[in-house]
Amino acid sequence: MPDDPKTTVPQLASTTWQIGRVHRKVDAMERMRGVLRYTDDLTLPGMLHGKIKRSPHAHARILSIDASKALAMPGVFAVVTGKDFPTPYGIIPWTPDENALAVDKALYVGDGVAAVAAIDEDTAILAAAAIEVQYEVLTPIFDPEQALAQSGTNPINPYAKHGNLSKEVLLEFGDVDAGIAAADLVIEGEYFFEGTTHAAIEPHCALAHVEPNGLVTVWSATQVSHYLHRELSKVLGIPAHRLRVIQPPLGGAFGGKSEPFDLEFCVAKLAMLTGRPVKILYTREEVFYAHRGRHPMRMRYRTGFTSDGRIVAMDAKTTIDGGAYSSFGLVTTFYSGQLACSPYVMGAYRFHSRRAYTNKPACGPKRGHGSVQPRFATEVQLDKAAVALGIDPIELRRRNDLGADSETVNAFKIGSNGFLECLARVEAASGWRERRATLPYGRGLGIAGSTYISGTNYPIYPNEMPQAAVQICLDRSGRARVFSGANDIGQGSSTMVAVIVSEELGVPLSDIRVLSADSDLTPVDLGAYSSRITLMVGNACLEAAKKLRKKVSESVARRWEIPPGRVMLIDRQALDRENPEQRVDLAQAFWWAEEDHGLLGEVGSYNTPKDRHGEYRGGTIGASPAYSFTAHVAEVEVDPETGVVDVKHIWVAHDCGRALSRKIVEGQMEGSAYMGFGEALMEQHVVDPAHWGVHAGPSLLDYRIPTFLDTPELHSLIVEAPDARGPYGAKEGGEGPLHPSIPAIANAIYDAVGVRMDELPFSPPRVLRAIQTRAAAQATGTITMHKDGNR
Partner 1 sequence: MLRLPRLDVATPTDLDTALALLATPGARLVAGGTDILPNLKHRLGEPPLLVSLAQITRLRDIIEEPQAGVLRIGAGVTLTQTSEHARVRALFPSLAVAAGQVASPLIRNMGTLGGNVNLDTRCRYVNQTDFWRSAIGGCLKSGGTVCHVVPGGRNCVAALSSDCVPVLMSLGASLVMRSPNGTREVPVADYFVADGLRNTVRNDDEITTEIRVPLPTMPRRTAYTKWSVRQSIDFPLLSVALRFDLEHDRVSAALTDVRVVVGVLGARPREVTRLEELRGRAFNDPEVIKAVAERVHAQCKPLENVPYEAPYRREMLPVHVRRAIAALVAAG
Residues making contact with partner 1 (CB under 8 A): 54, 56-57, 109, 121-122, 125, 203, 281, 283-285, 641-643, 682, 691-692, 694-695, 697-699, 701-702, 704, 706-710, 763-765, 768
CB of 64 to partner 1, least distance (A): 19
Question: Among residues 112 and 736, whose Cβ is nearest to partner 1?
Answer: 112
Question: Among residues 111 and 735, whose Cβ is nearest to partner 1?
Answer: 111
The CA radius of gyration of the chain, in Å to the nearest whole number, is: 27
Residue among 536, 566, 534, 537 nearest 553 (CA): 566
Q: Residues 16-34, buried b or exposed e (16+ Cβ, 10 A)?
A: eebbbeebebbbeeeeeee
DSSP β-bridge partners for residue 80: 115
Q: Where are the beta strands (DSSP E) in 162-310?
A: 165-173, 185-193, 205-210, 216-220, 243-246, 278-281, 297-305
CB of 359 to partner 1, least distance (A): 12
CB of 56 to partner 1, least distance (A): 4
CA distance 112 to 467: 33
Question: Among residues 67 and 631, whose Cβ is nearest to partner 1?
Answer: 67
Question: Among residues 156 and 287, whose Cβ is nearest to partner 1?
Answer: 287
Tell me the CA end-to-end span of the chain in Å, nearest whole number: 57
Contact 661, 479 (CB under 8 A): no
Written as one string, the DSSP assignment of 25-40 is: -TTHHHHHHT----GG
Contact 180, 313 (CB under 8 A): yes
Question: Among residues 536 and 682, whose Cβ is nearest to partner 1?
Answer: 682
Question: Among residues 121 and 759, whose Cβ is nearest to partner 1?
Answer: 121
DSSP β-bridge partners for residue 484: 470, 516
Q: Is the peptide bond before 508 cis (omega within 30 degrees of 0)?
A: no
DSSP β-bridge partners for residue 137: 60
Q: Residues 708-730, buried b or exposed e (16+ Cβ, 10 A)?
A: eeeebebbbbbbbbbbbbbbbbb
CB of 693 to partner 1, least distance (A): 8
CB of 439 to partner 1, least distance (A): 22
CB of 509 to partner 1, least distance (A): 34
Residue among 787, 732, 744 nearest 339 (CA): 732
Question: Among residues 122 and 211, whose Cβ is nearest to partner 1?
Answer: 122
CB of 122 to partner 1, least distance (A): 6
CA distance 223 to 526: 9
CA distance 535 to 525: 13
- 599 CB-near residues (< 8 Å, 6+ apart): 473, 475
User: Angle of helix 372-389 relative to helix 329-338, nearest 10 degrees?
Assistant: 20
3-state secondary structure of 236: helix
Written as one string, the DSSP assignment of 553-594 is: HHHHHHHHTS-GGGEEEETTEEEETTEEEEEEEHHHHHHHHH
Q: What are phi and psi of 581, to 5 degrees?
A: -65, -25
Question: Among residues 164 and 763, whose Cβ is nearest to partner 1?
Answer: 763
CB of 650 to partner 1, least distance (A): 17
CB of 682 to partner 1, least distance (A): 6
CB of 285 to partner 1, least distance (A): 5
Contact 470, 604 (CB under 8 A): yes
Which parts of 642-685 fold into alpha helices (H)? 662-681
Question: Among residues 308 and 688, whose Cβ is nearest to partner 1?
Answer: 688
Question: Among residues 401 and 683, whose Cβ is nearest to partner 1?
Answer: 683
Question: Among residues 118 and 165, whose Cβ is nearest to partner 1?
Answer: 118
Question: Among residues 283 and 306, whose Cβ is nearest to partner 1?
Answer: 283
What is the number of other CB atoms lying within 10 angstroms of the CB of residue 361?
27
CB of 52 to partner 1, least distance (A): 11
DSSP β-bridge partners for residue 188: 302
Question: Among residues 279 and 731, whose Cβ is nearest to partner 1?
Answer: 279
Question: Among residues 596 and 710, whose Cβ is nearest to partner 1?
Answer: 710
CB of 126 to partner 1, least distance (A): 10
Question: Among residues 101 and 470, whose Cβ is nearest to partner 1?
Answer: 101
Contact 654, 719 (CB under 8 A): yes
Residue 39 Cα distances to 26, 50, 69, 195, angstroms: 18, 14, 31, 28
CA distance 123 to 693: 29
CA distance 448 to 6: 28
CB of 37 to partner 1, least distance (A): 17
CB of 306 to partner 1, least distance (A): 42
306 burial class (0-12, 13-18, 19+ CB within 10 angstroms)?
middle
CB of 40 to partner 1, least distance (A): 8
